[in-house]
Structure formats: structure tokens, C-alpha cells
């Protein structure tokens, strides 16, 4: 990764474009503002305000890196979660093998900051995107790229466009196995083998592995859901074996096999690191992304490290590294408080924000276990409170969040804090 490009983010000037930032910072570069050791309680930050906790973030980075190393799997975190090059750099510094992207636009961000190995977890059939990719691969021999293919039609389209572009080297692809009622991916192992045959016949593509995403197969922790994940992963192993038996991996020195979101990565690691009876070595790769910040909702429940899980060891649960501050703006009814927090500020696709702590105007704090957000409007949160709660207009509420992927995209500059001191401002590019 290009450290100079990441460091140059500190040369950007803070202004009205970045919500939550204090007006006293306007006109200063990020570096200049940070030298003043700003504090979220004293330096004029306005609400709502998304915060990242440095200690929790570093705990999550280290915990995932150590677990993957101990279990013999590589990690290619899905960067779509944060789209923050500063956090990409920390993930790579903690040993990530690659970064994963979902779209060409995301891939361009990665390349702008010098990410040298990228998995694109989709079939790339966009003509303009393929032309740009061909040029990028030609311009940088050190750029390693792989994307999915899940249909013969997709392979043909890619071959047609890339043949016209005449790239100096083939584009690496992995056959994606899906499942019934799943998302993308060949629906059966037999179909996956046919896609592999189409790749083998292409002069501009090179087959390097098999991919999948078990999170599209199951969405809960019931025995039925966990069994469905195991069954799906067994299908990935079968696809790898059948494609290898047909000799379609003979030109690659190793076979990349990748799956793993943030809910079942323990099962993925267990299956992908089991012995393989193949002529070529297998490189098992997880693509979990949300572990970096974790959350107070979806992943607090679903993450393997917060429950009984496969390949368990001394690892500690991830910690929620993301929270949001909002002010009480109205108390129109005894049992209702309105917060300056809405759909444009926080995720709501899985669960609404969770009130956790009251920060009263007099400086006192107390937990809010008896309050909950029942509804989000564009710019307001409806918080149900006990009639005798004592919550007043002007107080602040700290909320936990669920599903970081759909919170980060609402913020361009996010304070990274150590306690109340801002130690960095994390830039996102959505």
C-alpha cells in the first residue's frame, strides 16, 4: 500500500463538507487540527457525531490476525465495510494477505492508495470496467487481481472485451459457487465445472481458484442454519476437487479457495483447512470485513467469537469500536425523547441504534438500559423513555450501532478517539 498517499490524507483541509466537525477547525488541515489534541467534549464538535474507539479497533485487528495465523488461513478483509484507506493500512499491517472489493469504483479507490492485491467479489462484466482493469494490470506488473465468474455467458463477455484490449497478461478468475435461493454463483457443482471449462478455453482469463459466500445461504444460528453452511462449504470442496481432477488448475502453482463473511468464518476456516488430496497446494482465504469495528447488534449476536464456535482457542470476543452521539432535541411527551439522529446518520437495515449512555448537561453519566429507539426518520430518532427518566432537552445520548457497512457510508470524516481525545480523523470514500 502507498503509505505516502495515506499520509497525504492529513493534508486535506477541514470545512463544511464534513458533518460533525467543529467550525474552529475549518481551514486547518487534518494534521494541523490533530496537533491541537482536540477533545470531543471541548472543541466544538456538533451532533450527531460518529466515533471510532482506537483501543477496541486495535483489539479487533490483533484478535483476527492472531486467530487467522493460528488456524492457517489468510485474510482478505472486505473493504466495503469502511472504505477507509487508513483502516485498510492497519489491516494490511496486521498481516492481511489482500483486500476485497465489490465494485469497480471501490477497486479504483483501492488502487488510488496503492493496494497491490485485490479480490473483486463479483463477476466483472462491465465493459468500461474491464477496459480500465486491463490498462491497470498492464501499467503495474506488481498488481495482483482476481475476480469471480459464475456463468459461461459471463466468461464469454469478459473474453470478448479483453480480447479486444489485448492485455499483456491474463485476468485471474475464481469460479463462484452459489446455492439454491442464494445470491450470485453457479447453482450446482456441475455448473461450476462448466464455467471452469469455459475459463480454460479463454485466451485472456486464467483460472486460479474457487470462491463462495456462505452468508447468502444462512442468516441465523439455528442448527439448521449451521448445517446449511457446512453443506454449502462441502460443495465448495467438491467443486475444487472436480475442477482439479479435470486438470484445469494445472497451470497455477496454487489454488485459492475463499469464502467467509463475519458470521460463520469459524466453519469456513475449519472446512478450508482440512486436508486436501490434490497435486497443487490450496491457499485458504477468509474475506471477513465487519470484524474491524464489530457492532452492538447484528455481529454481537452472529460473530463466532461471541458464542460457542469451531476451532475455539484463547481468543477474546471482538469489541464494538463504533458509536454515535446525538443530542436530545425535544421532549414533547413524557415517554418520548427526540434525538438529532436519523437514517442519514446511522444504519437501520438490521436494527435501530441502541441507546446506551446518557451524558447529561451537568456532566453526569448513567446507563440507559430502560430506553430504546423505536423509529428513525431522516433526521430524527424516536426514543421511548420512562416518564420519570429525567432526560432533558440538551442532554446527549451515546448509541451503539448494528451493521457497520451501512453506517460508514453516511460519513466522510470520522474521529478516532482515545477516551475523549481525537487521535486521528478517518477519511472514507464511498
Place 151 in a pLDDT band, splitting at 50, 70 and 90. Answer: very high
Is pLDDT of 237 > 90? yes
**Which element (helix H / strand E) includes 162?**
helix 152-165
What own/partner pairs with CB < 8 Å and gap ≥ 24 does 153-157 have? Answer: 154/123, 154/125, 154/195, 155/195, 155/198, 155/199, 155/202, 155/205, 156/198, 157/125
d(CA 395, CA 327): 6
Of residues 94, 98, 93, the one with CA closest to residue 75 = 98
Is pLDDT of 181 > 90? no
Residues in the chain: 430
Contact 198, 173 (CB under 8 A): no
Average pLDDT, the chain: 97
Domains, in order of start, for the chain: 3-53+319-427 (2.40.37.20), 98-288 (3.20.20.10)
The mean per-residue pLDDT over the stretch 28-43 comes to 97
d(CA 243, CA 324): 48
Is pLDDT of 42 > 90? yes
The mean per-residue pLDDT over the stretch 52-56 comes to 98
d(CA 285, CA 119): 10
Four-point Cα dihedral 143, 146, 147, 150, nearest 10: 160
Residues with Cβ < 8 Å from 391, sequence gap 6 or more?
328, 331, 337, 358, 371, 385, 397
CA angle at 277 for the pair 272 and 279, rounded to the nearest 5° = 110
Is pLDDT of 251 > 90? no
Kindly give the interhelix angle for 152-165 and 127-139, rounded to the nearest 10 degrees.
50
Contact 73, 347 (CB under 8 A): no
Q: What is the pLDDT of residues 315-363, one digit of tens each?
A: 999 999 999 999 999 999 999 999 999 999 999 999 999 999 999 999 9
Single pTM value for the model:
0.96
Amino acid at each position: 500500500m502507498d503509505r505516502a498517499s495515506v499520509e497525504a490524507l492529513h493534508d486535506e483541509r477541514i470545512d463544511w463538507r464534513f458533518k460533525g466537525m467543529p467550525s474552529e477547525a475549518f481551514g486547518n488541515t487534518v494534521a494541523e487540527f490533530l496537533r491541537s489534541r482536540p477533545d470531543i467534549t471541548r472543541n466544538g464538535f456538533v451532533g450527531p457525531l460518529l466515533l471510532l474507539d482506537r483501543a477496541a479497533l486495535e483489539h479487533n485487528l490483533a484478535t483476527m490476525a492472531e486467530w487467522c495465523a493460528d488456524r492457517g488461513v489468510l485474510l482478505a478483509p472486505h473493504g466495503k465495510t469502511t472504505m477507509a484507506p487508513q483502516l485498510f493500512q492497519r489491516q494490511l499491517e496486521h498481516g492481511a494477505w489482500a483486500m476485497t472489493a465489490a465494485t469497480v469504483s471501490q477497486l479504483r479507490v483501492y488502487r488510488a492508495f496503492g493496494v497491490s492485491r485485490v479480490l473483486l467479489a463479483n463477476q466483472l462484466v462491465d465493459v468500461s470496467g474491464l477496459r480500465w482493469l486491463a490498462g491497470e494490470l498492464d501499467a503495474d506488473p506488481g498488481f495482483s487481481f482476481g475476480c469471480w465468474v459464475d456463468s459461461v455467458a459471463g466468461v464469454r463477455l469478459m473474453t470478448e472485451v479483453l480480447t479486444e484490449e489485448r492485455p499483456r497478461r491474463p485476468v485471474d478468475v475464481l469460479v463462484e459457487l452459489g446455492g439454491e435461493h442464494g445470491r450470485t454463483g453457479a447453482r450446482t457443482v456441475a455448473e461450476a465445472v462448466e464455467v471452469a471449462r469455459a475459463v480454460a478455453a479463454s485466451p485472456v482469463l486464467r483460472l486460479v481458484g474457487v470462491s463462495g459466500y456462505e452468508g447468502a445461504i444462512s442468516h441465523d444460528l439455528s442448527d439448521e442454519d449451521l448445517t446449511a453452511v457446512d453443506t454449502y462449504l462441502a460443495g465448495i470442496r467438491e467443486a475444487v476437487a472436480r475442477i482439479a481432477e479435470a486438470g484445469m488448475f494445472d497451470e497455477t502453482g496454487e489454488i485459492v479457495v475463499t469464502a467467509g463473511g463475519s458470521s460463520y468464518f469459524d466453519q469456513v476456516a475449519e472446512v478450508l483447512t482440512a486436508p486436501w488430496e490434490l497435486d497443487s497446494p490450496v491457499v485458504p482465504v477468509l474475506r471477513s470485513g465487519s470484524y474491524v469495528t464489530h457492532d452492538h447488534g447484528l455481529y454481537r449476536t452472529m460473530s463466532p467469537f461471541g458464542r460457542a464456535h469451531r476451532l475455539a482457542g484463547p481468543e477474546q470476543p471482538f469489541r464494538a469500536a463504533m458509536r454515535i452521539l446525538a443530542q436530545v432535541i425535544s421532549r414533547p411527551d413524557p415517554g418520548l425523547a427526540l434525538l438529532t439522529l436519523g437514517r442519514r446518520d446511522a444504519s437501520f437495515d438490521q436494527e435501530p441504534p441502541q441507546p446506551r449512555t446518557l451524558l447529561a448537561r451537568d456532566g453526569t453519566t448513567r446507563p440507559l438500559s430502560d430506553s430504546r429507539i423505536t423509529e428513525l426518520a431522516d433526521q430524527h430518532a424516536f426514543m421511548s423513555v420512562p416518564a420519570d427518566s429525567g432526560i432533558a432537552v440538551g442532554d446527549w445520548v451515546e448509541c451503539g450501532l448494528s451493521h457497520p457497512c451501512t453506517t460508514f457510508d453516511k460519513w466522510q470524516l470520522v474521529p478516532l478517539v482515545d477516551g475523549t481525545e481525537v487521535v486521528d480523523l478517518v477519511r472514507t470514500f464511498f
